[in-house]
Amino acid sequence: MKLAAIIQFTVAVLCGAASLGSLIQKVPSKAAKRQNPFHADVQAQRAGAKLYARECASCHGDNRQGRANVPPLARPDVENAAPGTLFWIVTNGSPGRAMPSFAHLPEAQRWQISMFLQTQAQSK
Ligand code: HEC
């Protein structure tokens, strides 16, 4: 990547993150407190990785790096968020801001995706 491209990319990512604010901070605390029924289940985590690739990577990137107007998910505040926080975001999306709702996926799959995002912190 040329330097100009790198700078452009960095600026885009930073602006995106700043202007979109953090959806994570908008999740109701009651929703955030829900427990992931798949806690520490390796198979569920693998299923989550596949679901991420199918449902989320087109916007958030193969490596959760984000894109110009889509926030990266490879961030400590996402990886360490309460499990219910990510479940809520995946379920509700962000109406009017291009993050779709995935309420059509079975609840188990939404927990698996949430779990995948979180276990990335431990696998680094
Ligand atoms: C069509 C593009 C698109 C798809 C597909 C998509 N997202 Fe998003 N996502 C976004 C955008 C845009 C935002 C920023 C929304 C906002 O800040 O209001 C976002 C925000 C988020 C956030 C909050 C990040 C923050 O900074 O607070 C999480 C977590 C998230 N997405 C997870 C996922 C997961 C998991 C999937 C797959 C199930 C997914 N997204 C699929 C576009 C997408």
Q: What is the pLDDT of residues 86-107, one digit of tens each?
A: 999 999 999 888 899 999 999 9
Q: Which atom from ligand 1 is nearest to the alpha carbon of 78?
A: 29
Minimal-distance CA residue to ligand 1 atom 7: 99
Minimal-distance CA residue to ligand 1 atom 23: 23
- In this prediction, residue 35 has a pLDDT band, given cuts at 50, 70 and 90, of confident
- In this prediction, residue 7 has a pLDDT band, given cuts at 50, 70 and 90, of low
User: What per-residue confidence (pLDDT) applies to 96?
Assistant: 81
| pLDDT one-digit tens code per residue, 107-118 | 999 999 999 998
Mutate to test the pocket of ligand 1, among 15, 19, 60 (most ligand atoms within 8 A of CB): 60
Token pair 């996402």 in the structure block, residue: 78
Cα–Cα distances in angstroms (integers) from residue 56 to residues 25, 34, 81, 103, in the given order? 20, 22, 18, 14
Question: To the nearest whole number, what is the mean pLDDT of the chain?
Answer: 84
Dihedral pair phi/psi, residue 78, rounded to 5°: -80, -50
d(C-alpha 106, C-alpha 111), whole Å: 9
Contact 118, 48 (CB under 8 A): no
Q: Which atom from ligand 1 is nearest to the alpha carbon of 94?
A: 18
Task: Report whether pLDDT(36) > 50.
Answer: yes
Q: CATH assignment of 3-119, given 2.30.33.40, 1.10.760.10, 1.10.8.50, 3.90.1150.10? A: 1.10.760.10
- In this prediction, residue 40 has a pLDDT band, given cuts at 50, 70 and 90, of confident
> What are the pocket residues of ligand 1 if the criterion is a CB atom closer than 6 Å to any ligand atom?
20, 22-24, 55-56, 58-60, 70-71, 73, 78, 86, 89-90, 94, 97-100, 102, 113
Task: Report whether pLDDT(83) > 70.
Answer: yes
